[in-house]
Structure 1
Amino acid sequence: MIDILDRLSALLAKCLTALAGILLVTMVALACANMISRAVWVPIQGTFELMGFMGAVVAAFSLAFAQRQRSHVAVGILLSRFPRSVRRAAEAGTSLASCAFFALAGVETWKWAAFLVETGEVSETLTIIFHPFVYASALGCLALTFVLAVDALKTLTSETVE
């Protein structure tokens, strides 16, 4: 069962990272187009706004992949001196605490997006709906929650701790 969950978390992380990559390329293209447009005529309206929205989604969609790859900063100097059981408990506890935090962040962000839909709020410059970007950010947090939960399960059920 854990192997299935692990493969599912890997697939989810890869899909979200691919979408983040597409958005990042879009951001670069938009920035370049804006620079050229500014030099030739006038800047593209709303570039700053769109870059902010897409940047938030790129960051959120990259979280799960970064966790799976262990691309984050980890301080293990102190823990490496403790017995395996203490290291395992610390690893599982960290994963579970992080899981709870990002679950809360994801749920609250999702609620905020629902509120934006309800109120019909639009962006300031382009006057476009921006709740899809907020929903996407919530999805990134919830995907990280899933990856962290799988990590905790793997840590609690494995024989070795890294």
Structure 2
Amino acid sequence: MKSVQTANTETAADKKEVVLLAVLEKISIRLNTALAVVAGASMVLICVLITVNVIIRKFVSPIFGINEMVGWLSAITAGFAIGYTQIHRGHVDMDIVVDKFPPLVRRTIYSATHLISMVFFAFVSYQLVVYANNMMKEGTLSETLAVIYYPFIYLLAIGFFGLTLALFVDSIKFIIKGDHK
């Protein structure tokens, strides 16, 4: 009787883990998809700005401060797309080497790399917030357009947070299910 109760308790705990994982995965997918849509819109805006600048440059002077605008939009594009890229496995992976190892070694390698990556990008996100706070306190403005740009740094921190969340979900999924794909 006692072994049946233990089995039922473990099953209930496993179900809670799976439900929690599903909720975290849904949050990660929604957040990173929304960020990817903004990244796409930012990329389109970059293309429009550069195209308009090339065309009007033939007739009048170029758009003032376009380098700064394209730089900010590029940061948003890259920062907001990385979490989505992680979810969809669009990054470079060293499967050729790692897949030749036994399952326990593979599991250890993937667990370690996910953990190290997650900690690193959480730290990056945190440091970007600290940097943005300093820029806000100092009242720093961009050189050409004299625009406050700490909001762009906060946005970049959000993008790295999305990546951290995606890595966290991948880590948990890997621990529970034992696969990384």
Please classify the TM superposition score into its range, dividing by the shorter chain length: over 0.9
Q: CA 1:28–1:139 in 2, change beyond 3 Å: closer, same or farther?
A: same
Give, in angstroms, the shift of residue 161 of structure 1. Answer: 4.8
Match of residue 85 from structure 2: 66
Structure 1 stretches of at least 4 aligned residues deviating more than 6 Å after TM superposition: none
Alignment-derived partner of residue 36 in structure 1:
55
Structure 1 residue 30 displacement after superposition: 0.8
Q: Which residue is equivalent to 1:88?
A: 107
For structure 1, the residue ranges without an aligned partner over 5 or more in a row are: none
- The answer to whether the aligner puts 1:103 opposite 2:125 as a matched pair is no
Larger radius of gyration: 2
Query: Does structure 2 retain, via aligned residues, the 8 Å contact 1:109–1:138?
Result: yes
User: Structure 1 residue 50 and structure 2 residue 73: aligned?
Assistant: no
Query: Once superposed, what is the RMSD of the aligned Cα atoms?
Result: 1.1
TM (normalized to structure 2)?
Answer: 0.86
Q: CA distance change for structure 1 residues 82 and 152 in 2, over 3 Å: closer, same or farther? A: same
C-alpha contact (below 8 Å) 1:84/1:161 kept by paired residues: no
Q: Do structure 1's residue 140 and structure 2's residue 140 form an aligned pair?
A: no
* Deviation (angstroms), 1:144: 0.5
Counterparts of 2:62 and 2:79 in 1: how far apart (Å)?
28
Are the structure 2 counterparts of residues 112 and 160 from structure 1 closer, same or farther at C-alpha, using a change threshold of 3 Å?
Answer: closer
State the AA in 2 paired with 1:64: G
